[in-house]
Structure 1
Amino acid sequence: MKTTTHKTSFIPKMYCNLFGHDYQVSKKVTRHVKEYMCSHCKRQLTTNSNGNLIELTPKFKEINAILERIHNSRTLRSKEKLFNSSIC
């Protein structure tokens, strides 16, 4: 017996076509780079190097993951330096 799953995804897509997407921040990669997701149709976007919104592809997911790792390590290092300099 076949199950129909496309009917449930049709209504949110139709809503977005009529009223537009309702993007919400789903992940903060850095202060300037964020990932967004539509609350209705689950479409995912991210910001590119120019600050424009683009489709979140596997390539950009990988770029954002690497960028987040670098950003976290740098902020941790700068906090350690600040802590060590305030002790001395």
Structure 2
Amino acid sequence: MKNIHCLVFGHDYKVTRNVTNHVKEYACKNCSKQLTTNGSGHLTELTPKYKEINDVLEHIHQKRVSKTNRKKFKSDLLVFSH
């Protein structure tokens, strides 16, 4: 019955995971079909291969974000003004 709703009205995709600022994973609210953003920016079905790519991409992105946040914090720590 869930698939009939999607056939008639189309899928209702919601973001389930923000991998990076540009790559996201989506799932249909009704039928649970999963999609992700591919390398060219188009939506494609979330396969185990894309799931693994997104996991690695998220790990690299989190390391980079935390590294830049530490640099900003350290540079602001030793600022003196007279």
Does the alignment reach a TM-score above 0.5? yes
Of 20, 41, 52 in structure 1, the residue corresponding to residue 10 of structure 2 is 20
Indicate which of 43, 61, 65 corresponds to 1:71. 61
Residues 1-88 of structure 1: pairs in structure 2 closer than 5 A: 11-88=1-78
CA distance in 2, matches of 1:61, 1:27: 11
The two structures, once aligned, show a CA RMSD in angstroms of 0.5
Unaligned ranges ≥5, structure 1: 1-10
4+ residue segments displaced more than 6 Å: none
Q: TM-score, normalised by structure 2?
A: 0.93
Kindly provide the amino acid, as one letter, of the partner of residue 41 in structure 1: C
State the percentage of identical aligned residues: 51
> How does the TM-score come out when normalised to structure 1?
0.87
**Aligned partners of 1:62 and 1:81: how far apart in 2?**
29
Stretches of structure 2 that go unaligned for 5 or more consecutive residues are none
2-structure distance, mates of 1:26, 1:55:
14
Would you say how many aligned residue pairs link Structure 1 and Structure 2? 78
SS at match of 1:31: coil
